[in-house]
Structure 1
Amino acid sequence: MSGIRAELVFATPETCPVASASAAVEEPIEEIEWGAGNEEAVTEQFTAPTSEPEMSTAADDTEFSEVFDYGPRTVYEFDRDPSRPCVCEFVEETVGPVSDTYAADGDLHVTIHAQDITALRENIRAFQDRFGDVRIEHLVSGRTDDEDGDIAPVDVRRLTDRQREVLATATEMGYFEYPRGANAGEVADELGIQPSTFTEHLNAAQSKILDELGFGE
């Protein structure tokens, strides 16, 4: 099994005070952690630049208090209502423990692992249904047992949203398998586009990926 590692971006999630607070600071908010909580409140902590006075106030009616001062960075803490939807908790309930979380420019970045691209796509749909705009920022595919132990990183920020959708759908339908599980026409029908448009998006996406891997011109 190779597996997939993906960094997902939840665009300006209204239910995340940490993401909202990150819009007021220049550096990312990191080390976001949360406890099991109780019926009254769940306690969360995060680390942010000390030089940002906005962090000591509030975001989305949530007050932050200082816990520890590292000098250039400070640990903050806040309590939230356990009934309030939490992106990170929902992700963990859906796919298991997250690998990394940080907030920047009002967005929440969450890194997860999935068995394959099909499972990842299903997870993203669940996240979009719950929280709205969710996109893949960075994608890493592991090697199979028959290959070496290296991993192949791909910065999918170079791909358009449509190119990502085309690649995900083609992979899910078995377009890249041998023998093929679906032809170009069938994948195009699933996407609601013409076969020529599918080919155009696919070629553009593949060219960018090959360039990322060092095989471009």
Structure 2
Amino acid sequence: MKPSITVVIPTHPFRVHNGMLARAVDSIERQHLTPDDLIIEVDKDGLGAATTRQRGLEKVTTEWVAFLDSDDWMYPEHLKVLSAGARAHKATYVFSYYMVHRRDGTPWPEIDPLGHFGKAWNPAAPHQTTITTLVRTDIAQRVGFTDPPPDSTVGGHRGGEDWHFTIGCRDVGARIVHIPRRTWAWVHHGLNSSGLPDRGDAAIR
């Protein structure tokens, strides 16, 4: 049976105008496993990624929710690979890995400086993940997104709302599994926030 999936993309006016959002949406439309819904939340009032993502999450009614930042994109197999991985491992939170691309879409040399690709998730010693995940909606909505306090760390990482969300999912009993495939593009364009509310192009209006 085809799983029911909603994709949530938080964005802000800068990425609407510069074409990044359109590229992200195009990647959703090209998925081999078509999602049931796409929710785009635009941060028009400057409240930040956590609040914007939370607004989108609250509207989800499907069994699963997938997250994507508006400056990145999914490869066509992304949702199919994650869904199959969730089913095979009886997981409730799955994440794959990325290739780094420049803003113009060309790839950087394939590097993995932190050595996390293919590393099994260990809830007792978690390694940092990204927001590009597939999660059971009931778990995601139970945990939700909030801005972490300045300079707060979890599991040795400062990370932003996405990392705190991951740890929250762990703490409520989510079965988190890493799928060792590179199925999406992380775009390095010089204004990335890396999940931190005090960085990036979110402040550009």
TM-score, normalised via structure 1 length: 0.23
Greater per-residue strand proportion:
1
Larger RCO (alpha carbons 8 Å, 6+ apart): 2
TM-score, normalised via structure 2 length: 0.24
